[in-house]
Chain A
């Protein structure tokens, strides 16, 4: 399960629309509870898509380790850290792809939000977690606080 304020969800959607037709991405900041089964998101960090710059053939970094490390450091004093990430699928469903499974998903404790953008409008936002055996993504419930 992921707990995230409606205002944060809205910010993710606005970012995805602004970046359309490019893919946008970012990190979810917060804490992990209930033995790794629940993420409480208190902030998001948009990350510059490193996509174009490091385009060497087909494998492209979305979020660099430097961005990840910076976010972890910035929030560590408040006892928070990176608990997941989000990215957009322009003109495609809010479902992670096979490649996302192999490369986008480091660990099963994290949330993976995918937002679908059609013709510049965010139409669906869904959140996923990685099965414990890393074999697939399982959709998780989004609990929107205020």
Chain B
């Protein structure tokens, strides 16, 4: 269909002097392609060597930037008007701003020499790193390598936020913490390690959970936020707070052998909600504690996050904006998905419905239903604590113990006389569970066993089923410390 392209004054000489041209095209991309194939001199002024629109070229469709309407794929209607407009950016190396960057001491120059000799970093880039501030959410598997590399790179101010305590099971991957740190607050141990790596940087520590109440105030004080969290409520909270505070969110996530990384920056592209508008139903995606994770995987993904953070500070091209990197450590394969900003995104779209931080536990379906809601049809699940189970067993009560974990977990530790039926096989093997006996079901921490009980009851199992609260880990904590925890 015929559409009009308005040519800016500065480009008219490449378009035969015309101020506007009519082309036939179905999409914005097609219209531009038509334009430059008729007026070939225009091509190099609009497109770069990779045949992508130059950064400073904006295309407006009836007053709207096509970046917000689907980019080159934006559909055109009869009579639409496209306008080519440059944005004129400046400032990075205006001398005025350079003068405000902190200077480097001779010690720092010696320390960063491998950066300084590369023109992509140089003195200016290193001073930018020194002037930058980055807040890391979490000092776990992802935060460990990210923090260590950002500290080593000389990021001037690093904020680290964590509420957790170093546990033995962290050490397989969270290389910022050591054996001597078990039982210490993670931020204390992380602070020691980071200040040892680089005494020239400032470390701000926050021993707290990130909440809807504190997130915005915290984020405002930093240039970049790095998401190293392991759960959906916090991930949505980090995303929304970044959008509202106008900060880039350097995202990473890991599970078993697979990792993801991206840079969500609403001012420049898609945010996390453009990619995942809704969280998965609770329990569908297991956590690393349930599903496991290869220790080196967060090392790789966290290093990618550090890399992207440094590039954002240096103003490098090729950041992971509008790109989702997928990594499979088992196949040793990287893949990349293109992302688009969603114009109807509830937080960064054109008509946002989320304009302040919400209750993310509730949003992710993790809050118990309020009592006044309709009474549930099913009866409440029966539960038993580890000491109660111990008491009953000691009394010689006849209890059938079903372990719904995986065989490799069973090999690590199991309760005496328990029967292994992994969660995935529970329904097929229902007949192996004796309905006439009182039955205790357990897993590692109590989540999977609850699912197994629900599934069995729905499938018509009529015997008595009791969930072991806190799983075999609670047994180890409260009854028998000789049972290893994992």
Residues of A that sit less than 8 Å from B by CB: 21, 23, 25, 31-32, 35-36, 51, 54, 56-65, 68-69, 72, 76, 80-85, 87, 89-92, 97-100, 103-104, 106-107, 109-110
Complex alpha-carbon distance, A25 and B91, angstroms:
11
The answer to whether B88 touches A85 (Cβ under 8 A) is yes
Give complex CA distance A84, B57 in Å: 15
Determine how close the nearest CB of chain B comes to the CB of A4; give it in whole angstroms.
16
* B87 lies within 8 A of A65 (CB): yes
* SS class, residues of chain B in contact with chain A: mixed
Contact of B94 (CB < 8 Å), options: A36, A56, A100? A100
Number of A-B residue pairs at CB separation under 8 A? 127
Q: Separation in Å of the B324 CB from the closest CB of chain A?
A: 22
| Complex Cα gap A91–B99 (Å) | 11
Taking CB atoms and an 8 Å cut-off, the chain B residues in 1-34 that contact chain A are 6, 8-13, 19
- Supply 7 further A-B pairs (C-beta < 8 A) apart from A82-B8, A99-B92: A57-B132, A60-B89, A62-B91, A63-B87, A68-B8, A90-B96, A110-B10
Q: Which residues of B contact A63 (CB under 8 A)?
A: 87-88
Asked if A104 contacts B13 (CB within 8 A), the reply is no
Tell whether, in the assembled complex, residue A23 and residue B92 are in contact, meaning their CB atoms are under 8 Å apart: no
* Complex partner residue of B11 from A58, A69, A104, A109, CB under 8 angstroms: A109
Q: A72-B85, A89-B96, A91-B96 are in contact. Are A58 and B10 (CB under 8 A)?
A: no
Are A69's CB and B60's CB within 8 A?
Answer: yes
A25 to B366, CA, bound (A): 52
Chain B residues contacting A56 (CB-CB under 8 Å) are: 223, 246-248, 267
Which residue on chain B has the smallest CB distance to residue A35?
Answer: B13
* Closest chain B CB from A133 CB (angstroms): 10
The 10 A-B pairs at the shortest CB distance, nearest first, are namely A81-B9, A99-B93, A106-B86, A92-B95, A63-B88, A60-B91, A65-B85, A99-B92, A103-B89, A65-B58
Q: Please, how many angstroms separate the alpha-carbon atoms of A60 and B89 in the complex?
A: 6
Chain A binding surface SS class: mixed
Cβ-based interface call for B328 (8 A): no
Q: Is the CB of B128 within 8 A of A58?
A: yes
A100 contact set on B, CB distance < 8 A: 90, 93-94
Assuming the contacts A57-B223, A57-B312, A97-B93, asked whether A82 and B246 have C-beta atoms less than 8 A apart, the reply is no
The answer on a CB contact under 8 Å between A65 and B65 is yes
Cα distance A107–B94 in the bound complex, in angstroms: 20
* Complex interface: chain B residues within 8 A of A65 (CB): 58, 60, 65, 85-87
Assess whether B13 is in contact with A109, with CB atoms less than 8 Å apart.
yes
Within 8 A of A (CB), among B44-90: 45, 54-58, 60, 65, 83, 85-90
Chain A residue numbers with a CB within 8 Å of B10 are: 32, 81-84, 106-107, 109-110
For the complex, give the distance between the alpha carbons of A51 and B19 in Å. Answer: 30
- Nearest opposing residue in chain A for B83, CB measure: A69
B97 at interface, CB cutoff 8 A: yes
Min CB gap A129→B, angstroms: 11
Minimum distance in angstroms from B19 CB to a CB of chain A:
7
Q: Is B313 among interface residues, defined by CB-CB distance under 8 A?
A: yes
State the CA gap A106–B89 with chains docked (Å): 10
Least CB separation from B224: chain A residue: A57
